[in-house]
Amino acid sequence: MTGPADRDLRRRAEAVIPGGMYGHQSIGLLPDDYPQFFRSGSGAHITDVDGRRYLDFMCAYGPSLFGYVDPGIDAAYVKQLSEGDALTGPGARMVELAEGMVSMVSHADWAMFCKNGTDATTMAMMTARAHTGRKTLVLAKGAYHGAAPWCTPRPGGVIPSDRAHQQSCSYNDIPSLEAAVAAAGDDLAAIFAAPFRHDAFVDQAAPDPAYARRARQLADERGALLVVDDVRAGFRLARDCSWSRIGVSPDLSTWGKCIANGHPLSALLGNDRARTGAASIYVTGSFWFAGAAMAAGIETLKRIRETRYLEHIQDLGETLREGLAERAIAAGFGFRQSGPATMPLFLFDEDPDLRLGFAWSSAMLARGVYVHPWHNMFLCAAMTPADIQQALDAAEGAFADLKASRSSLGPVGKMAFLATR
Ligand code: PMP
């Protein structure tokens, strides 16, 4: 049961927002006691509209890398805002930011900026098609690249021609990648790759370097472009493109979420091979040249370069992982933790309809820790060892609750989304 202020907003939203809410915050995707509406965020915490404060392992689904309302980054934002944000044309911040991204991301020679990850992935698709003069994309089944008709995971409002010219493969499965490329024939424009397998509802998996190298090789053989979609994982695995860790350079990479620590900014980065194609596409938006988010992005990049934030969140993530594994074993649960320590996903064994995951997540929430039952989570640099200890203490209690209630748990309601998985 959520609090009275949340319930009131839900009731009012039902009248004026289709479905009461949409996208990843749609009603019913999370346990019923999860708040829908939040009042504020600070550092590693969020406060819901009823004043309940949670240690937040979602980080706004990624954008908060250094914590909410970071004073230094927000000061850069506010300063630029006071001088002008969306003007008739861009300012110096745009060039400075492009220089910053290009200097940090080893495969990149140029950058283009936009607002959402979907803008960046759609631009990657267009750039690849413009570069090759071909149509077909190879995409991994279940990988998320955004919410435009060509890539949205749900069928509503999408017509078959939106999804024409796509071949699918299975992540890390070289024969299926080869088959998809073969099916594209002489029409292959791009191979899209997630930096690691971070699909919802299933265990995450690191990229097999042989798979990544084969993707590079196939793109080269066919004259197609290789795209790494780093919108979600960017800067939580490396201070470079995530595939730099396995020595594979894409032609294009897409970025968003945390690159301006919560301010609206995304980017398409590319190498010189893709430059002419990128220059030929017409893409823009009313707010794409706005300087305040770019100023926040410049400050965020500086922090990424100059601090040990990455090592810090990796250490915290490892401590969390080890502590959770011990507590799950002690309570007798098969509790699978997958993905990088900085972006974990938790799933229970023998839990096909997620009733264990929902109940455990609710028990965590009741103890002030916001976790997600089927989507990967995110650590941020504002978290401390004491926060991780709080999460572990909460988990001990949540596993105990689950053990006590396990036999009486009913099916999870309203999960039409899951029924189709
Ligand atoms: N690609 C990936 C891998 C993502 O995780 C997301 C967002 N979850 C997107 C693209 C789309 O980004 P946005 O929601 O900002 O449009």
> Which of 24, 171, 231 for a ligand 1 pocket mutation test, highest count of atoms within 8 Å of Cβ?
231
Q: How far is the CA of 416 from the centre of ligand 1 (A)?
A: 22
For residue 155, is pLDDT > 60? yes
Average pLDDT over residues 200-217: 98
Where residue 196 falls among pLDDT bands split at 50, 70, 90?
very high
Quote the pLDDT of residue 412: 86
> 246, 240 in Cβ contact below 8 A?
no
Quote the pLDDT of residue 411: 86
Q: How far is the CA of 389 from the centre of ligand 1 (A)?
A: 30
For 284, phi then psi, to 5°, come to -170, 180
With both helix axes pointing from N to C terminus, report the angle between 309-331 and 291-306 in degrees, rounded to the nearest 10. Answer: 80
Euclidean distance between CA atoms 316 and 404, whole angstroms: 29
Quote the pLDDT of residue 414: 61
Handedness of CA 297, 145, 121, 270 (dihedral sign): positive
Better pLDDT: 1 or 372: 372
Quote the pLDDT of residue 332: 98
Distances (CA, A) of 160 to 122, 128, 152, 163, 193: 17, 21, 12, 5, 22
Where residue 267 falls among pLDDT bands split at 50, 70, 90?
very high
Q: Residue 217 gets which letter from DSSP? A: H
For residue 403, is pLDDT > 70? yes
Give the closest residue to 375 by CA, choosing from 208, 198, 243.
198
Using CA atoms in the order 185, 187, 189, 190, what is the torsion angle rounded to 10 degrees? -20
Q: Which residues have a Cβ under 8 Å from the Cβ of 96 and sit 6 or more positions away?
A: 294, 298
Q: How far is the CA of 178 from the centre of ligand 1 (A)?
A: 26
Average pLDDT over residues 303-321: 98
Handedness of CA 177, 421, 342, 100 (dihedral sign): positive
Euclidean distance between CA atoms 288 and 291, whole angstroms: 9
pLDDT tens-place string over residues 9-18: 999 999 999 9
Give the closest residue to 317 by CA, choosing from 343, 348, 345, 346.
343
> 150, 165 in Cβ contact below 8 A?
no
Where residue 410 falls among pLDDT bands split at 50, 70, 90?
confident
pTM for this entry: 0.97
> Which of 58, 59, 115, 121 for a ligand 1 pocket mutation test, highest count of atoms within 8 Å of Cβ?
121
Average pLDDT over residues 87-98: 98
Element (H, E) at 347: strand 345-348
pLDDT tens-place string over residues 225-242: 999 999 999 999 999 999
- Arithmetic mean of pLDDT over the chain: 97
Average pLDDT over residues 57-71: 98
Euclidean distance between CA atoms 297 and 100, whole angstroms: 9
Can you spell out the DSSP letters for 304-325? HHHS-HHHHHHHHHHHHHHHHH
Where residue 415 falls among pLDDT bands split at 50, 70, 90?
low
Q: Residue 197 gets which letter from DSSP? A: B
pLDDT tens-place string over residues 325-366: 999 999 999 999 999 999 999 999 999 999 999 999 999 999
Q: Which residues line ligand 1 (CB under 6 A)?
A: 61, 116-118, 121, 144-147, 229, 231-232, 256
Task: Tell me how many degrees the CA angle 137-140-142 measures, rounded to the nearest 5.
Answer: 125
Look at ligand 1, atom 10, and give the residue with the nearest C-alpha.
145
**Closest ligand 1 atom, residue 198 Cα:** 3
**Closest ligand 1 atom, residue 256 Cα:** 15
Euclidean distance between CA atoms 39 and 50, whole angstroms: 8
Quote the pLDDT of residue 421: 46
Euclidean distance between CA atoms 60 and 41, whole angstroms: 10
> 150, 192 in Cβ contact below 8 A?
no
In the block, residue with structure tokens 């100023």: 295
With both helix axes pointing from N to C terminus, report the angle between 71-83 and 291-306 in degrees, rounded to the nearest 10. Answer: 150
Q: Which residues have a Cβ under 8 Å from the Cβ of 129 and sit 6 or more positions away?
A: 135, 189, 190, 277
Query: Is residue 234 helix, strand or coil?
Result: coil
| Domains assigned to the chain | 4-68+308-419 (3.90.1150.10), 71-306 (3.40.640.10)
Q: How far is the CA of 231 from the centre of ligand 1 (A)?
A: 6
Compute the half-sphere exposure of residue 158: CA atoms within 13 Å on the CB side of its CA: 14
Where residue 418 falls among pLDDT bands split at 50, 70, 90?
low
For residue 420, is pLDDT > 70? no
For residue 151, is pLDDT > 90? yes
**Closest ligand 1 atom, residue 24 Cα:** 8
Average pLDDT over residues 254-271: 98
Q: How far is the CA of 229 from the centre of ligand 1 (A)?
A: 9
pLDDT tens-place string over residues 3-39: 999 999 999 999 999 999 999 999 999 999 999 999 9
> 27, 13 in Cβ contact below 8 A?
no
**How far is residue 347 CA from its own chain's centroid?**
18
> Which of 29, 115, 118 for a ligand 1 pocket mutation test, highest count of atoms within 8 Å of Cβ?
118
Where residue 201 falls among pLDDT bands split at 50, 70, 90?
very high
